[in-house]
Chain A
Amino acid sequence: MRNFISDRAKEIPPSGIRKFFDLALTMDNVISLGVGEPDFRTPWNICESSIYSIEQGTTSYTSNKGLQSLRDALSRYLGQHYNLPYTSNDEIIITSGVSEGLDIAIRSIVDPGDEVAIAQPSYVSYAPCVTLSGGKPVPIRCTEKDHFKLNPEALLESITPKTKALIINFPNNPTGAVMNAGDLKAIADIVIDKDILLISDEVYAELTYEGSHVAAATVSDLWERTITLNGFSKAYAMTGWRIGYLCAPKELCDAALKIHQYIMLCAPVMGQVGALEALRSAEEDKNNMVNEYRLRRNMIVAGLNRIGLSCHVPDGAFYAFPSVKKTGLSDVEFAERLLREQKVAVVPGSVFGDGGEDHLRCAYAVSRKDLTEALSRMETFISGL
């Protein structure tokens, strides 16, 4: 039989944490700081509203773009909270999670041979999505020295005549780094000057602990060349609902919609109903969760530094990104031995690309009790090295 697997699929490297995953599943009593999702349940008002809608028989397809009521509410919300002027009819598509938004954004702009610069360390799907479109991912290294912000000079160096777009994600998974208005202005100047497009994944926007989130599309004249991606998963503890959204000026949005209508048709309606309720009534639930993450962030950063893993204070998301350099172990060795010897799961930073090596991603979306226990086990591990 022939080998049916496409070259593009072959080109995608296997998951960097498969072996950790398999190992952790064989163990009991593992405390996982390896999970990129909130530990809270979805606020009940959201669940209840979705359940009620199912009881009422709201189980059909929606418009490709998503429920009009959700897009209207979102348009208002984005305007009020982030000063983003996306219109509900032409500039917003409700997607099945940010993952789908990312995929259709990339597919609607990347041709074979195009280069796409990716600020790394980054979420793991950016580069494979570019590869699947026939493009070439070009990592840009963000460093600890810059608190893992995107350095304008590094960006400039990565751009070639073939560069079509830049993908950024701030607040960042895995580093927790945040870009303020000034940081984004420096990037905007280059993006505009080099005439490239910006894809800004802002799914952690609501989890900003110092000051308020600055949406990239509101900086300079970026709006006309920015695709903003966001979703409900992180802010409202709705990961399993799979509701995200893509916002862009009409022309870009229309192109993305063509792909969305063929691959997804529409995002699940019960999720969309829940998302609408999130915007209507879950502001306080969200704020309570964000406050709790802030307290835990302070706990984990203090704890990591105390046990000898130097860690900058992340201004957003729910990840601490300490360095293991002083221990003499690589991030992969550290993560594997920590799991085997102390049953604490963390993700080695190198999984997230350039700049991630020698670091660990420790998610603090776990209870304070587990966080304290995990830190204590890590201390035992380090003192035994």
Chain B
Amino acid sequence: MDEKDLELLRILEENSRLSADEIAIMTNLSTAEVENRVHALEAAQVIKRYSTVINWELAGNGEVSAVIELKVSPERDYGYDRIAERLSRFRQVKTLRLMTGTYDLQLVVTGKNMQEVSRFVSEHVAPMDRIRETATHIIMKSYKENGHTLFEQQESERLPYSF
């Protein structure tokens, strides 16, 4: 991993739809070198996947997301790993992290509606062994996702010419 790799990652994180040709021009690399480097980063799992930041509120599909905090009793020899891996296999779990502080695991869960999310928590998450406590926080509105603001910002008035 060198400075050029980091530059490629920054470019792709911002917009993964750029072609190798376009990236080559921006970075002064050859197209082949961009492709080779990106393949190597993919093979090393540094690049996990290419996804899209979507403003679901505008898409209007009515999906509901919740942040769920879990207090968990860790297992001898495994700590939180096995239960975290188990939870992360659920399609509904979009994000799962081990946290410092008053609880242990944090999940972001998405469902078609509030009922689906609460059913998922009460039927699948809460009854699991070693889970001592759950707290579910419904996300009311998202203002920023993965570095991208989701609210309208006023265009600033820019002159057509200035020196």
> Do B160 and A291 touch (CB < 8 A)?
no
25 contacts between A and B (CB under 8 A): A21-B159, A21-B160, A21-B161, A24-B160, A30-B160, A32-B160, A32-B161, A35-B158, A35-B160, A35-B161, A36-B162, A37-B162, A39-B158, A41-B156, A123-B163, A125-B163, A291-B7, A295-B11, A295-B27, A298-B25, A298-B26, A298-B28, A303-B25, A345-B161, A347-B163
A295–B26 Cα distance when bound, in Å, is 5
| A36 neighbours in B (Cβ, 8 Å) | 162-163
The reply to whether A24 and B163 form a contact with Cβ atoms under 8 Å apart is no
Output the nearest chain A residue to B28 by Cβ-Cβ distance. Answer: A298
With beta carbons under 8 angstroms apart, the residue of A24, A295, A299, A302 that contacts B161 is A24
Q: How far is the CA of A303 from the CA of B159 in the complex (A)?
A: 24
Give B7-33 as 1s and 0s: 1 = Cβ < 8 Å from A's Cβ atoms: 100110000000000100111100000
Known A36-B163, A37-B158, A345-B160; 14 more pairs at CB < 8 Å: A21-B159, A21-B160, A24-B161, A35-B159, A35-B160, A35-B161, A35-B162, A36-B162, A291-B10, A296-B26, A298-B28, A299-B25, A347-B161, A347-B163
Interface residues on B, range: 10 to 19
A345 contact set on B, CB distance < 8 A: 160-161
Residues in B whose Cβ lies below 8 Å from that of A17 = 161
Q: Which of A25, A123, A296 contacts B160 (CB 8 A)?
A: A25
List of A residues within 8 angstroms of B161 by Cβ: 17, 20-21, 24, 32, 34-35, 345, 347
Bound CA–CA A34/B28 (angstroms): 25
Question: A24 contacts which chain B residues (CB < 8 A)?
Answer: 160-161
Q: Provide the bound-state CA to CA distance between A203 and B11, in Å.
A: 27
Chain A residue, CB-CB nearest to B23: A295
How far, in angstroms, from A302 to B31 measured CA to CA in the complex?
Answer: 14
Which A residues have a C-beta under 8 Å from some C-beta of B? 17, 20-21, 24-25, 30, 32, 34-37, 39, 41, 123-125, 173, 291, 295-296, 298-299, 302-303, 345, 347, 351
Task: Knowing A41-B156, A302-B25 are in contact, say whether A34-B7 is a contact too (CB < 8 A).
Answer: no
- Report the Cα distance A36→B160, complex, angstroms: 10
Closest chain B residue to A297 by CB distance?
Answer: B26
Q: Contact at A32–B158, with CB atoms within 8 Å?
A: yes
- Residues of B142-163 at the interface with A, using a CB-CB cut-off of 8 Å, are 156, 158-163
A233 CB to closest chain B CB (Å) equals 11
- Measured CB to CB, the closest approach of chain A to B130, in angstroms, equals 41
Docked CA distance A296–B25 (Å): 9
Residues of A within 8 A of B11 (CB): 295
Complex CA gap A125/B158 in Å reads 20
Chain B residue contacts of A25, Cβ below 8 A:
160
Give complex CA distance A24, B162 in Å.
12
A25-B162 Cα distance, complex, nearest whole Å: 13
- A376, chain B: closest CB distance, angstroms: 13
Cβ < 8 Å to A, chain B residues 49-98: none
B-side contacts of A296, CB under 8 Å: 26
Task: Tell me the bound Cα distance from A296 to B162 in angstroms.
Answer: 19
The 9 A-B residue pairs whose C-beta atoms are closest, nearest first, are A24-B160, A295-B26, A34-B161, A302-B25, A32-B160, A124-B163, A36-B162, A298-B26, A21-B161
- Residues in A neighbouring B160, C-beta threshold 8 A: 20-21, 24-25, 30, 32, 34-35, 345
In whole angstroms, how far apart are the Cα atoms of A21 and B28 in the complex? 35
* In the complex, residue of chain A having the shortest beta-carbon distance to the beta carbon of B15: A368
Q: Which residues in B have their C-beta under 8 angstroms from that of A32?
A: 158, 160-161
CA distance A173 to B163 in the complex (A): 8
CB closest residue in chain A, given B10: A291
Shortest Cβ gap from B142 to chain A (Å): 18
* Interchain nearest-CB distance for A291 vs B (Å): 7
What is the CB-to-nearest-CB distance from B58 to chain A, in angstroms, rounded to a whole number? 20
| Neighbouring B residues of A123 by C-beta, 8 Å | 163
Tell me which residues across on chain B come within 8 A of A299, comparing CB atoms: 22, 25-26
Kindly provide the distance from the CB of B151 to the nearest chain A CB, expressed in whole angstroms. Answer: 14
Q: Which of A30, A34, A41, A291 is in CB contact (< 8 Å) with B162?
A: A34
Bound-complex Cα distance A345 to B26 (A): 23
**Whole-angstrom CA separation of A363 from B27 in the bound complex:** 19
A347–B28 Cα distance when bound, in Å, is 27
| Residue among B156, B161, B162, B163 with most chain A CB within 10 A | B161
Q: How far, in angstroms, from A197 to B118 measured CA to CA in the complex?
A: 75
